[in-house]
Structure 1
Amino acid sequence: MNKNKLTLNQLKVLFEGLYPQLCVFAYKYLNNLETSKDMVQAVFVKVWEDKTEFLNENHATGYFYKSVKNTCLDYLKSKQGESTMPYELVALENYDTEAFFMSTAVGIETTAVIENALNKLPEEAAKLIRQSIKDYRN
């Protein structure tokens, strides 16, 4: 399968579809919303500047998650050098595992799919399902 360079419109569609989930994903690493947004935006800018090519949408999605993860870890490593707090090293080691990456990415993507489906339901039905997800009872 041939790789394709993204057009600006395709990148915009990817940005609109992935940005919220990637910000939540980055927040799991950084625990700071503004910094998380900055990291995600930096990844999108880099993809555009580097004219990164993708096989398909799934390949692009995986690439963005991995890139955000690596950008966040690089940021944490740079912050670790500025700090003397020993607990940060342990946290960084936990974040840099495939298990943490996969469980976080899958959880966020699953939530996005469920939320998308709920938004297509009538308001009362969606409200009832959201409450049942939160384990509320009538």
Structure 2
Amino acid sequence: MVEGAQLKQAEAGKRYEVFHTDCPARDMVDHVTSRWGIWVLISLRSNDLRFYELRDSIQGISEKMLAQTLRALLQDGLIRREVAPTTPPQVTYGLTEFGQDIGEPLTDLFDRITKRLPADQRPPRSG
């Protein structure tokens, strides 16, 4: 396959060549399935969160990694960033329609995994 051919195929309404290294869909899959991308999408599935609320909801993520992950998911169009004109500005993150569409099967996958975990491997429920 010649370089860039999968882009021409996509423009013509055909499927992306996801196994080709320069396929744009491949980058998005990498972002979604990255170490933190899946957790950001799952954390935002129910409601919008501010940066620190999002960081606190995902144990173990650093501010640097959260910022990088948010930047990638924003660029991919999976999340939105809203800035309220307050002092200091309040920044809220939420899923776009596309992000909700992508997040739904991830949530289903997560739910299926946790339902199958033996009781002795499940973390204690908070609440």
TM-score, normalisation: structure 1? 0.26
- Higher percent of residues as strand: 2
TM-score scaled by length of structure 2: 0.28
